[in-house]
Amino acid sequence: MLRSLRVQIAVTALCLASITGASLYSLAAKDEVLEIKDTIDAKKDRINSIKKQADAYRNEIAKKEAEQASLSNQIAILENKSAATELDIQALNQEIESTITDIGLLEGQIEIKTSEMSRKKALVSELVRNIRESDGTSTLEILLNNDTFSEFFDRVERMRDIEERTFEAVHDLKGLRDDMLVRKQKADSKRVTLDNQRAELQGLKTTLDDEQIAKSQLMQQTAMSEQKFQALLADIRDEQMATEAQVRRLEGSLKDVLKKNDDTIGGGTLLSWPVSSRVITVVFHDPTYPFRRLFEHSGLDLATPQGTPVHAAAPGYVGTAKLGTTMYGNYIVLIHSGGISTLYAHISRMVVKPDTYVERGDVIGYSGGTPGTPGAGLSTGPHLHFEARSNGVPQNPLNFLVAN
């Protein structure tokens, strides 16, 4: 019996020593963790530096926008926008790399914690087994199997110490588990952040492409002539004013007809999406719109391939189906009940004629917008420009659009 108890105490002592050593496993990775954190900090410093450079370009844009519109001024704005966007892309790439590093660090820490938990579970189990085995030995047996009272008290004290350390080990194990769960939650949150950053990066790349195409378009349409630029600017403003006046006139002339057919038209102020795409590349009055210095973006740009069928957003009359080359390119205006009208621009092919009635969902034309193609107008890529107007004044189409 004496030999059995000595073996139990020896095994228990080894277990306790192993538990203490388990924490050294995580300490061994401390230098590597610190090195990774230094890398992350360096990336953050680089990100801040890049953002400061981008802000400098934006300050220059603000100065140029405060000046009188000119060709050189507008090209400078577009060039500064492109430079700022390129820096935004660089900064976001650094942020993505930092997020990936963060995730890797958390996953490494989770792996270490999991390994520590596995070892401590096994060691605690061994401690508990030894305690249970020792519980089968009475105090009298321990007393009889020891030569002196000193040995007896020493062994009793050891068993009490083992029980206390077992309790501490179980408490540590729970702490490891809780810490691992927190790190897992952080890693999951970082993965969501990474997905959002990658989506934002794709959006920035699209923005950069649009800005560069906008500059190219402007240079082509003006042939780098200030006189031609001012003429283009005048044409754009004239077109805006003429379109607004025409819509108001058509709304007035068709008011009685629309009212008469109101039972058939029904709910003309509720607009269906004109194309299947829900991808909005430029919003209403978008502050990042490349041509904002020339004119306000008064609708939504819906990304859709060249030649996509365009549907009437609501029942009404075709007020305009016009061929154009400036801002809108080819465009169609529909007049609906309730003082609402819709405009569809950059149309590559029209299939309706003025003064004809269309039902909701009828195909009225096909989308365009690819630079250099018929009816594209001032466009940076294939899309449908869609406007909603109330009494001739452009409104945010999202306030009217509903699911088809």
pLDDT tens digit string along 66-80? Answer: 888 888 888 998 899
pLDDT of residue 18: 41
Domains of the chain (ranges; CATH) run 2-222 (no CATH), 226-402 (2.70.70.10)
pLDDT tens digit string along 381-393? Answer: 899 999 999 888 8
List the structure tokens of 191: 């993965």
25 pLDDT higher than 50: no
Name which residue leads in pLDDT, 197 or 132: 197
Residue 265: how many CB atoms within 10 A of its CB? Answer: 21
* Structure confidence at residue 238 as a pLDDT band (50, 70, 90): confident
With contact defined as beta carbons under 8 Å apart, do 324 and 239 qualify?
yes
pLDDT of residue 312: 96
pLDDT tens digit string along 30-43? Answer: 666 677 777 878 88
* Structure confidence at residue 125 as a pLDDT band (50, 70, 90): confident
pLDDT of residue 214: 85
pTM comes to 0.68
DSSP 69: P
